Structure 1
């Protein structure tokens, strides 16, 4: 990787996206400063209203993190997190039926988001070139006189202080103010795409006996068009569990104890409700609403300043019910690493093109496809898309009968393989054989 040992990089935001960015930048830049508005050690940071809810860390994210921070999974388990195999120790329920269990060889570590961020942050802060600056709000970007270069960030009330930088990476999340600052300095407004999903979450932390999970580390009941309510029940540090229920298109779970329990009972499978019946509530039920997936098309801008890049939810914020956010951020950081490795001075245009083609397009299209399977989600459904939806739906049903197909689905869910893997002719032939052997009147063998 090409060294810029005399240069200084600034990362805006100390969430997972910012921490992954800092890890990449620390291999290239002589100094890296991560600027965070909130106190990073505060578990209820104002900028992360969803932090208390269940968070998945998909298989691809786990792989990338272990590459950059070897042994971090073992450290987390030693501190109380729970490790398992994604196909053996995670209970996946789709349309009311469990996926077939198998040994995938793909590890997962289940924890609260605060716990995971704490371990990531400690590893990043231990890097000799990295400094984390908490409690500092970035009030703006510092531009050259002609607006063509970003040469730092402005800190504090009114942007009175300047932190110079040779590169600024905005990883401040969905609420990034960079679109406004770019427009103010003559670069135009970035085009935004939105897909209305109106997902509502409700979460409670409980104390649950270990045998309530029957050896599993997590229970995922996936919403489907026929049963548009879902939930996740995750064993986290100690004997606690995080229970998150969700509904789409305005069908949100209530926060009163009786309503929360009733919503859990209404899911397509009883597994989460059964855990709640033997659990002791430790917190009140918390609510979170996500109105729409959002994508900012920086790759389409005609004008963009040198010295600035974007990463994470600041580029693309996905429907959170798929649990892709943190792994998605890690994959974007890989694209940043590859961008910085170019021999010639890479341009922002080349970076956003790489990010779009390698990371954002495949994942955005995957979530778009899944969301459009729900009839109430607005969007065009071409005959080709309807055919793909039918094939994917059949594949998921077959995965409740065939372990190989279950693993194929889980690799796609985990962002290890593209969604086109489900449409592979060999996979579809196996789907056909599996479903043709199954009488229509009976369910899968248990």
Structure 2
């Protein structure tokens, strides 16, 4: 959900960072995107966008550009991020109007949208010639470009794992340990509620925790082949349908049991860290991007992977895809393309990888992080996901599916539908959206 991922809890602010870096260019840029052309004096401007608008990541981006500055003083980077809630729409508007940015950060859904309209550049040969496949952890680039096997349109630099964060004080007071199975997780929810605490933060009617919990339960119960069929628009198997309905029933039981904050419907999802920091709630599902914010609360917070259905399962798959990838506007001139590829290459610089790691990210770039400073929560987070397998944000199966799933979650919350009816609506819309997507 990927994105829902990085950027979901980010502060909504508009930022422009302008920094100079050079690629030894000696000519103007006459072709390509309308964002940031050459000045005609040997300088190039590249417009870069992402959904990374929180202060911590903006600061890291600043530092990244400074490092790039040292070898690229003749190119101006204009970094114009927008909050996640507006990001997809902003990309649509900019590219449809012919003013698409030069370098864009895209998750699977956005990459599908832009690539199918021929807005993104095929950079397969550049990725191979620059040796980026070897610099990335095994499979990261292929995972990011899973829908176009053999062709690459974007390059990731981090993963976006979802874990369960928990209040260590509450767990200690109630003599609780991180659960190994979903049954143990349900027992903890009940005990926390009985003790007068809020078991789970959800984040308002965006239903982040609920949707990610559904995906985790599917990974616990459905064979990977069935997951892949759904994700790659090849249909829904009986096992997948049964597990999705069961997961929705579990969420419905959590709603009925009062496991979420009473005023949940009126909370904005960006306020989740603030509410969690009040010490009233025991747990919340979220990604690695909240680590700096949680560290700032000075609360004793731990992390564990969403538990398995069966502790004896051979695999423990969690929601953990690549966070997104840097992609290029298809209309870049050769000169701007080379500068843009150099910008992407900067994210593979070990010093830059360390910066993003220290900021809470989980790098897809191979680098030794053993001596890098990291908070106890960051170290605990890394331990929590150790040994787990990657899993997609399943709403990225087809553009528009997230809205459908969220709508049905809302109706369930207000007792306007049942889990079975909710699944039927999701299934029908999935089929419609898949048919439309394949017809493009």
Could you tell me the TM-score, scaled by structure 1's length?
A: 0.27
**More strand by proportion, 1 or 2?**
1
Could you tell me the TM-score, scaled by structure 2's length?
A: 0.27
